Amino acid sequence: MTTKERRMKQDMLFRWCCRIVTFMALGVLLVLLSHIFSQGFKWLSWDFINSYPSRFADQAGIKSAVWGSIWVISFTAIFSVPFGVATAFFLEEYSNSNSKFVRLLQINIANLAGMPSIIYGLLGLTLFARGIGLGGSVLTGSLTLSLLILPVIVIASQEAIKAVPNSIRYGAYAMGARKWQVIVGQVLPAALPGIMTGVILSLSRAIGETAPLIIIGALSYVAFTPLGPFDDFTVLPVQIYNWAGRPQEEFHEIASAGIIVLLAVLFTMNLVAIMIRQKFQKYRM
Amino acid sequence: MSKPIIQVKDLSIFYGEKKAINSVNVSFSEKQVTAVIGPSGCGKSTLLRSLNRMNDFVENLRVEGEVLYKDQNIYAPKIDSADIRRQIGMVFQKPNPFPKSIYKNITWGPQINGYDFDPDALVEKCLKRAALWDEVKDRLDDSALALSGGQQQRLCIARAIAMNPEVILMDEPCSALDPKATSRIEDLILDLRNRYTIIIVTHNMQQAARISDETAFFFDGDLIEFGDTKEIFTNPVEEKTEDYITGRFG
């Protein structure tokens, strides 16, 4: 076999390895989805989405969990996005990246991004639920989830800010701009698509979190929708977890229906975020 | 020659310990094109950036001496550097339009500086002066990044003009462009010479000879020779200048 033939073989081998691995992952996903849809699809109806949970399978609905998730995720976004993006701007544009303090901060943020979520649940329980007495409310849940996703938002935003070339900053300074004008007028819009990607990913993670919310005391049987940030709540994954843990076979199927609803909510969120991103990407090449 | 608008007095610039500019004295005349030439690393770009305090963003850089703009030292403590940059604009080596529409590239500067202006009229005026209007007038809302390199550089000149500066500094504005785009920029500079003071760094000696009224030759941080462009290119006083412009080194 000549060298050329061998190298062509290697090339083909590598290509096939990549292909097989990709399809294996896709295959697993497909099996998972088909299982969920075959179990849950028949339970999906407007009544299911618009009813409160019940101990009778045929009356059980997911209304309180859908609204709970919407409340919690909205407040999570309100808390985490401004704080995360502002932190990223401070670290990238204002702080001296060579200082020991800033480097320590960076390492800590990176470590926090990898912390198990249940630890955030314990923190939320001590700090928000008991410490300032918010109990198992929407606020406690969203503050806890905000802490959980804050490091990811900070890191993703930092990367997006770093990707904005300095030539744009200098161009803006040369127009007599002040630093805040350079940041707000040039760097932020240029970095926004990247920041949005980080925000989408972390909010998607937050909407699927179960453990920290169970710890802070999210209820599993809620026969009402939250009317304000101080109300008790449940969220989709907690409701699904609860159904899946019941002995009756019907409730396992209802859990699958709940997963379909969760996927739909996630899909809608991502779609909206992608649309926002597209709008700002208009001026990129 | 007309009266000087920028006078550099005993200016030395250090990068850390390294001296990049060595007590230079030079004055730039109003409404003239002055070319700054010299081999790579001679400090010509460093000098140019010190004229509107763009060097402020370079770490470990230290400036000694004075740069007088209209008889006012721009390195005096009470001076607002942003205010200086409003009056002394800059065009960079690589075209760096903002990732916004062509229209917004022009209006952004005057807008953030709180100028009172009619945006449509300003956009048209600046793009016409930068000889770009005919090419882009039907697509002002398109991304500036969709333009060709030469068009982007003319947009950057238009953007600088929009601030209504007295002086425009150009740091090798054609080095990233092809010959055709280069000649358009050169024509443009000749058009603008009566309205603005232009100081252009270039490593292209033919370009310096074609477009400038006066030329400053730098070597290794020193100003070797300064004078009328025709004189410098036909009858240089210093041997080093002659060696450089005849291509014996550089």
Which CATH number is B106's domain given? Answer: 3.40.50.300
pLDDT band at B123 (very low <50, low <70, confident <90, very high): very high
**Residue B32 located in a structural domain:** yes
Q: Specify whether A238 is located in the same domain as A178.
A: yes
Residue B127, pLDDT score: 95
For residue A248, how many C-alpha atoms fall within 13 Å in the half-sphere facing its CB? 11
Average pLDDT over residues A227-250: 89
Residue B51 has pLDDT above 70, yes or no: yes
Q: Determine the Cα–Cα distance for residues B127 and B105; give it in Å rounded to an integer.
A: 11
Percent of chain A with pLDDT over 70: 99
Q: Specify whether A85 is located in the same domain as A102.
A: yes
Q: Determine the Cα–Cα distance for residues B132 and A132; give it in Å rounded to an integer.
A: 62
Find residues 186-245 of chain B whose CB sits inside 8 Å of chain A.
Answer: none
Nearest CA in chain B to A184: B112
Residue A201, pLDDT score: 87
Nearest CA in chain B to A179: B82
Average pLDDT over residues A48-65: 85
Residues in A closer than 8 angstroms to B159, CB to CB, are 171, 175
pLDDT band at A175 (very low <50, low <70, confident <90, very high): very high
Residue A282, pLDDT score: 67
**Residue B41 located in a structural domain:** yes
**Residue B49 located in a structural domain:** yes
Q: Specify whether A7 is located in the same domain as A115.
A: no
What's the domain range around B84? Answer: 4-245
Residue B112 has pLDDT above 90, yes or no: yes
Q: Specify whether A112 is located in the same domain as A25.
A: no
Residues in B closer than 8 angstroms to A189, CB to CB, are 99-100
Q: Specify whether A29 is located in the same domain as A126.
A: no
Residue A285, pLDDT score: 46
Condensed to tens digits (0 to 9), the pLDDT of residues A177-200 reads: 999 999 999 999 999 989 998 998
Contact A170 B96 (CB under 8 A): yes
Q: Specify whether A15 is located in the same domain as A150.
A: no
Residue B217, pLDDT score: 94
Q: Determine the Cα–Cα distance for residues B148 and B146; give it in Å rounded to an integer.
A: 7
Nearest CA in chain B to A285: B145
**Residue B174 located in a structural domain:** yes
Q: Confirm or reject contact between B126 and chain A (CB < 8 A).
A: no
For residue A70, report the phi and psi dihedrals to the nearest 5 degrees: -60, -45
Interface test with B, best of A96, A175, A187, A192 (most B CBs within 10 A): A175
Q: Specify whether A9 is located in the same domain as A126.
A: no
| Token pair in block for residue A252 | 């396992």
Give the total number of structural domains in chain B. Answer: 1
Residue B175 has pLDDT above 60, yes or no: yes
Percent helix, strand and coil across chain A, each rounded to 5?
Answer: 75, 0, 20
Residue B11, beta-bridge partner list: B24
Q: Is the ipTM, as predicted for this complex, more than 0.90? A: yes
User: Could you tell me the sign of the dihedral formed by the alpha carbons of A156, A161, A162, A164, in that order?
Assistant: positive
Residue B89, beta-bridge partner list: B168
In this structure, of A32-46, A68-82, A212-226, B228-242, the range with the lowest mean pLDDT score is A212-226
Contact B113 A172 (CB under 8 A): no
For residue A132, report the phi and psi dihedrals to the nearest 5 degrees: -105, 10
Q: Specify whether A149 is located in the same domain as A16.
A: no
Residues in A closer than 8 angstroms to B98, CB to CB, are 168, 171-172, 186
pLDDT band at A225 (very low <50, low <70, confident <90, very high): confident
Residue B245 has pLDDT above 50, yes or no: yes
What's the domain range around A21? Answer: 3-42
Cα A17–chain centre separation: 31
Q: Specify whether A144 is located in the same domain as A253.
A: yes
Cα A270–chain centre separation: 10
Condensed to tens digits (0 to 9), the pLDDT of residues A98-136 reads: 899 999 999 999 999 999 999 999 999 999 999 998 988
| B89, B94, B112 ranked by CB distance to A167: nearest | B94
**Residue B250 located in a structural domain:** no
Q: Specify whether A9 is located in the same domain as A54.
A: no
Looking only at the bridges linking them, the beta strands covering B4-15 and B18-29 are antiparallel
Q: Specify whether A86 is located in the same domain as A191.
A: yes
Give the total number of structural domains in chain A. Answer: 2
Q: What value does the mean pLDDT of chain B take?
A: 92
**Residue B129 located in a structural domain:** yes
Please provide the size of chain B in residues: 250
Average pLDDT over residues A18-35: 95
Cα A126–chain centre separation: 23
For residue B224, report the phi and psi dihedrals to the nearest 5 degrees: -85, -45
Residue A68, pLDDT score: 92
Q: Specify whether A166 is located in the same domain as A266.
A: yes
Q: What's the gap in Å between the CA of B205 and the closest CA on chain A?
A: 26
pLDDT band at A166 (very low <50, low <70, confident <90, very high): very high
